[in-house]
């Protein structure tokens, strides 16, 4: 018969190797600390990462939150839209990599098991409740501006409120579209939303700086009408259409001008409107 201590030795030998046990980080007053679960690099300028989610952290789909790292003993934070939906038990973010950006030059090196800090107060205007009822919902975005729409297309209420949900995504290069494309595919293939998204979610992409089957800025495609003829829908109409915009500051100024000219009124957290905007929070 094996003695108890020999049995323990056998168990210990059979146990998987312990890789690395990181000491729990010291608490940072006023912030949650989340563990990085997964990091994926999409291009040399774009990466996404997934973290744990504090059970007490609540948000509305489309909101953003301040996240960052402790640098020299101080929190260094930037605003990031939450890409995952508010019913998921993790949080996901999409980030640009700026070589000399104070945060992203560091954040781009995070690995599974690292800790990031996060404010406890999400906020933002890209909420479907900030829009009046309508038939079609356009989600117009460029670059990392896709992020809040990842959350909105995962929200079942979006499809209850709008018959057609159309993501219009513009990037400089084809490779930069990949994260958005994968998110849309995930929704279409999901058990929860797949059937409804198959009917109601459309995905329209355009590229500006290399050959692609569809080219041109979103603003150009709206003004020359190609967006609508490609989709087989009438031109933008404030009676029926609602719009959310997230992209570079100049892009949202230009789109706002186009929409206001067509009679669209802006919504915000106190009064719903025909369209809502948010800057993509890229570090420059």
Rounded distance between C-alpha atoms, residue 178 and residue 197, angstroms: 19
- 248 forms part of the interface with ligand A2P (CB under 6 A): yes
CB of 191 to ligand A2P, least distance (A): 33
CB of 122 to ligand A2P, least distance (A): 23
Q: Is the Cβ–Cβ distance between 64 and 81 less than 8 Å?
A: yes
CB of 108 to ligand A2P, least distance (A): 16
- 124 forms part of the interface with ligand A2P (CB under 6 A): no
Contacts of 71-74 with C-beta under 8 Å, sequence gap 24+, read 71/102, 71/106
CB of 32 to ligand A2P, least distance (A): 29
Query: How are strands ordered across the β-sheet holding 201-207?
Result: 201-207, 164-171, 136-142, 241-247, 275-279
> Which of 95, 104, 119, 142 is close enough to bind ligand A2P by CB under 6 A?
142
Q: Is 59 left (phi over 0), alpha (psi -120 to 50) or beta?
A: beta
Nearest to 247 by CA among 137, 157, 169, 136: 169
CB of 43 to ligand A2P, least distance (A): 11
- 218 forms part of the interface with ligand A2P (CB under 6 A): yes
Any idea what DSSP says for residue 163?
A: S
- 209 forms part of the interface with ligand A2P (CB under 6 A): yes
Q: Which helix (H) or strand (E) holds 188?
A: helix 178-189
> Which of 60, 155, 164, 254 is close enough to bind ligand A2P by CB under 6 A?
254
- 77 forms part of the interface with ligand A2P (CB under 6 A): no
| Nearer residue to ligand A2P within complex by CB, 88 or 266 | 266
Give the rounded distance of the alpha carbon of 94 from its chain centre. Answer: 6
- 217 forms part of the interface with ligand A2P (CB under 6 A): yes
- 219 forms part of the interface with ligand A2P (CB under 6 A): yes
Cα dihedral across residues 177, 115, 64, 82: positive or negative: positive
Rounded distance between C-alpha atoms, residue 139 and residue 154, angstroms: 13
- 143 forms part of the interface with ligand A2P (CB under 6 A): yes
| Binding region for ligand A2P (CB under 6 A) out of 111-119, 130-138, 187-195, 212-220 | 212-220
- 172 forms part of the interface with ligand A2P (CB under 6 A): yes
CB of 254 to ligand A2P, least distance (A): 4
Interface positions with ligand A2P (CB under 6 A): 142-143, 170-172, 208-209, 217-219, 248, 250-251, 254
């Amino acid at each position: 018969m094996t003695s108890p201590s020999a049995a323990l030795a056998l168990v210990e030998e059979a146990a998987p190797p312990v890789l690395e046990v990181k000491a729990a980080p010291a608490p940072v007053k006023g912030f949650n600390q989340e563990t990085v679960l997964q990091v994926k690099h999409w291009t040399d300028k774009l990466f996404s990462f997934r973290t744990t989610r504090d059970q007490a952290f609540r948000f509305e789909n489309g909101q953003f939150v301040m996240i960052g790292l402790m640098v020299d003993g101080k929190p260094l934070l930037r605003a990031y839209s939450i890409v995952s939906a508010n019913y998921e038990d993790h949080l996901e973010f999409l980030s640009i990599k700026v070589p000399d950006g104070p945060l992203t030059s560091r954040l781009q090196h995070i690995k599974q098991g690292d800790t990031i800090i996060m404010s406890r107060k999400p906020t933002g205007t890209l909420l479907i409740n900030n829009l009046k009822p309508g038939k079609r919902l356009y989600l117009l975005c460029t670059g990392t501006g896709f992020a809040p729409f990842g959350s909105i297309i995962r929200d079942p209420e979006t499809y209850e409120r709008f018959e057609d949900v159309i993501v219009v995504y513009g990037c400089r290069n084809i490779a930069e579209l990949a994260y958005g494309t994968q998110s849309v595919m995930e929704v279409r293939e999901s058990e929860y939303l797949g059937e409804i998204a198959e009917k109601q979610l459309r995905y329209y992409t355009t590229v500006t700086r290399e050959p692609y089957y569809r080219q041109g800025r979103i603003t150009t495609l709206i003004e020359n009408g190609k967006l609508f003829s490609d989709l087989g829908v009438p031109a933008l109409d404030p009676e029926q259409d609602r719009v959310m915009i997230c992209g570079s500051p100049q892009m949202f100024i230009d789109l706002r001008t186009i929409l206001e000219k067509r009679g669209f009124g802006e919504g915000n957290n106190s009064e719903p409107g025909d369209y809502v905007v948010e800057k993509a929070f890229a570090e420059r």
